[in-house]
Structure 1
Amino acid sequence: MAMSALGVASCATGADFAPVDRLLHGAAQRGDVPGVVAAVGHGGRVVYRGVYGQRALVPETEPESWDTHFDMASLTKPTITAPAVMQLWEQGAYRLDEPVARYLPEFAANGKDGITIRHLLTHYSGLPPDLDLSTDWHGKDEAVRRVMLTVPTRKPGVAFVYSDINFITLGLLVERVSGMTLDRYAAGRILAPLGMRQSGFLPAAALRPLIAPTQFDPQAGMLRGVVHDPTARRMGGVAGHAGLFSDAHDMTLYAQALLDRRAGRPSAYPLKRDTLEMMTTPEQPAGRTDLRGLGWDIATHYSTPRGAVFPVGSFGHTGFTGTSLWMDPGSDSYVLILTNRVHPSNGHGRQIIQLRHDVATAAAQALGLDGGPA
């Protein structure tokens, strides 16, 4: 166990994670992030844990801890919404290349009748990145109305455009087909089977002291236990693109279960192995070079959490608040980074991008993936 004035780190193998420690410690010490909780998994166990900096800076400082709960932001997309969609697909509820409008008829408006479920999952739908937030609208019903009336900016299947509207729509699809709200579906069909007891939408008030605050909002004050994403917040905190809260313990459970299922080992991950392999290999339209799985990023300009060592074919995702998870089935490894980099004033975007890249590189080197120390 190694300790510093800012935090604590531990390593379960003989691998040298000192470079990872220096990166995390330095990021917290410089104020690139308020605090950071990180984990590296390898060979079926967590081999490195790091906790540095502060969970909160205002109105007073609070030390970071392993059990800090974070707003996972867009990690909601691949960890909750995409597997929910694929569970229903496994049950035969629909085919991925069917039009979304077959199940959400209102979605056909304004030329969206050719957009398929696969287009949404891979961000090749041609829809714009987000709903218009320039007017003061509120409520899930209004969000649904705006999603259904969204006008595409490109033809489906032509170009990769990362869009929250894609996953808002997928969340609505899950609700329409299952007859359950997305938060209830996720709690019963994804989180509970995995034993993720500290995770979910709309965290209870009792958890607030453990939740890392994000950003000050003029109307709501400092957001703490309230989703940071403004569209999800206007929708009431439950949406297909954002809204999950979780901690490092639960996210390491998730990552390990996913890798175990994908490798054919015993696992509680609630999808079949073939389904999970399909989700984590390229599924974008033929001939397109931005590589996306079904919910997961593989090789696009968002793939900086892969670092310089993990190969193309590994996969992961990021969250705007400062979260990321990257997994490499070839080496049976993952790198989890949790920060609230938007606290208290939505800063440090470039710093977290670089930190994700550098930590993944150093972790892979510590594991000996590029011929470095094993």
Structure 2
Amino acid sequence: MVESGPAADWARKQVDQGRVPVAVLGIGSSHGISDVVAFGHDDGRKATTDDHFALFSVTKPISALTVMRQVELGKLSLVNSLTDALPGFGAGRTDTVTLEHLLSHRSGIMDTQLDGGTPLREDLTTAEQAFYAGSLVQYCNVAFEGAAAMAEWADGRPFEEQLSSLATDTGAKGLTFHTDCNPHTVRGAEEQGLDVEGMYKKRHPGAGLFGTATDLLNLGTELLRNSGKAVRPATLAAMRRPRTTGISHISVRPKPLRHTGLGFQMPANESELLAQGIYGHPGWSGTEWWMFPEQDRCVVFLTNVLDTPDLGVDTNELFNAVAAS
């Protein structure tokens, strides 16, 4: 059982040492969910295994899976231009921003605030150019609004409806952009100057989802099975293919360096890890969702504190605990 295993011990340690107030850890495989455990209290609220958390950037691979469903249906191409879907985007740009660029942080779009009162689509269409598309790598949240716009252009349905279909098909029905799921309060936002409620109103396809450990484990088990319920095996393989190797990164946080595929991230320095082939994504709020194909494992770690690496939360320790379990 996970409750007494090394991964659970690691999660419990983060709470016991005061790095995070609450933690939910889940482990699954292609055979299903192995276990989910919860630790800690936050302002009198005891963490439970069914709690929703703000996923922040764990949203990105889920949105990417949603968009890639349109690619495998032949309705959309990785080389389609964002201006096909949004003719008003990038006035004055001489380059072409493609879907591949958007999903791999190579769009050259200068990122916009996660919060603020401007509609997200307007943020995107008026965003300035940071570099020529494809020439560099720079993490960009608003690019995923561009990918969502392209999925809507291809399919005709609102993006949230498309993502809901993915969630239903994979047993992740608790995934939502709605705050009525009673998520845990995010800690550290005031220090970072982030208006969390303002961010929630954006319903951001790069950072706005809420979910439970069970939601992410159910989706992860389908990816490990390569069942095709999320995307087809060839699509998943393409999403896991690094698109940023050998390209210069513009980054304010150089470590840990990770390669980017289409929505998914992969550890760049596997020499530090017991496992190879890991893919998934972290979230600013301390959330983690990773698949270990060689070990047939999926791990979910959910908490509610911004910038947990700065507080001593080392996910390489978690990766190695999962790989050895």
TM-score, L = length of structure 2 = 0.86
Give the residue type in structure 2 aligned to 1:288: I
**8 Å CA contact 1:183, 1:238 repeated in 2:** no
Counterparts of 2:184 and 2:266 in 1: how far apart (Å)?
A: 28
1:119 corresponds in structure 2 to 101
Give the residue type in structure 2 aligned to 1:239: H
Q: CA distance change for structure 1 residues 42 and 238 in 2, over 3 Å: closer, same or farther?
A: same
1:63 corresponds in structure 2 to 46
Shift of 1:190: 0.6
The 3-state SS of whatever aligns with 1:336 is strand
Give the residue type in structure 1 aligned to 2:284: F
Counterparts of 1:337 and 1:307 in 2: how far apart (Å)?
A: 20
Aligned with residue 324 of structure 2, among 365, 369, 374: 365
Give the residue type in structure 2 aligned to 1:328: F
Shift of 1:105: 1.2
Shift of 1:176: 3.1
Count how many residue pairs are aligned between Structure 1 and Structure 2.
313
Whose radius of gyration is greater, 1 or 2? 1
2:185 corresponds in structure 1 to 213
**8 Å CA contact 1:75, 1:323 repeated in 2:** yes
- 1:269-308 aligned within 5 A: 269-284=229-244, 287-288=246-247, 291-300=259-268, 308=273
Shift of 1:35: 0.8
1:260 corresponds in structure 2 to 225
1:198 corresponds in structure 2 to 174
- 1:35-46 aligned within 5 A: 35-42=22-29, 44-46=31-33
Aligned with residue 311 of structure 2, among 328, 338, 351: 351
Give CA deviations for 1:99-129 in whole Å, capped at 9, x if unaligned.
221222112313164111101111111222x
Counterparts of 1:161 and 1:229 in 2: how far apart (Å)?
A: 26
Give the residue type in structure 1 aligned to 2:117: H
The 3-state SS of whatever aligns with 1:106 is coil
Give the residue type in structure 1 aligned to 2:169: P
1:131 corresponds in structure 2 to 112
Give CA deviations for 1:25-83 in whole Å, capped at 9, x if unaligned.
221122100111112224523344332112x22xxx1111111111111111101x111
**8 Å CA contact 2:30, 2:225 repeated in 1:** no
**8 Å CA contact 1:85, 1:174 repeated in 2:** yes
Check if 1:31 corresponds to 2:18. Answer: yes
Q: Bigger CA drift: 111-120 or 272-281?
A: 111-120
1:371 corresponds in structure 2 to none
**8 Å CA contact 1:110, 1:150 repeated in 2:** no
Q: Bigger CA drift: 290-299 or 313-322?
A: 290-299
Counterparts of 2:168 and 2:312 in 1: how far apart (Å)?
A: 31
* Unpaired runs of at least 5, structure 1: 2-8, 12-16, 262-266, 367-374
Give the residue type in structure 1 aligned to 2:137: F
- 1:212-231 aligned within 5 A: 212-215=184-187, 228=196, 230=198
The 3-state SS of whatever aligns with 1:114 is coil
Give the residue type in structure 1 aligned to 2:265: D
Aligned with residue 159 of structure 1, among 128, 136, 140: 136
Give the residue type in structure 1 aligned to 2:45: E
Aligned with residue 77 of structure 2, among 95, 98, 105: 95
Counterparts of 2:176 and 2:11 in 1: how far apart (Å)?
A: 27
Which is bigger in relative contact order (C-alpha 8 A, separation at least 6)?
A: 2
RMSD over aligned CA atoms reads 2.8
The 3-state SS of whatever aligns with 1:180 is coil
Counterparts of 1:123 and 1:139 in 2: how far apart (Å)?
A: 22
Give CA deviations for 1:121-179 in whole Å, capped at 9, x if unaligned.
11111222x2157xx95142xx3223112222111212211110211211222233333
Q: Bigger CA drift: 96-105 or 287-296?
A: 287-296
2:282 corresponds in structure 1 to 318
Give CA deviations for 1:190-236 in whole Å, capped at 9, x if unaligned.
111112232211143xx32xx21214878xxxx9xxx9385x43xx3
Q: CA distance change for structure 1 residues 202 and 352 in 2, over 3 Å: closer, same or farther?
A: farther
TM-score, L = length of structure 1 = 0.75
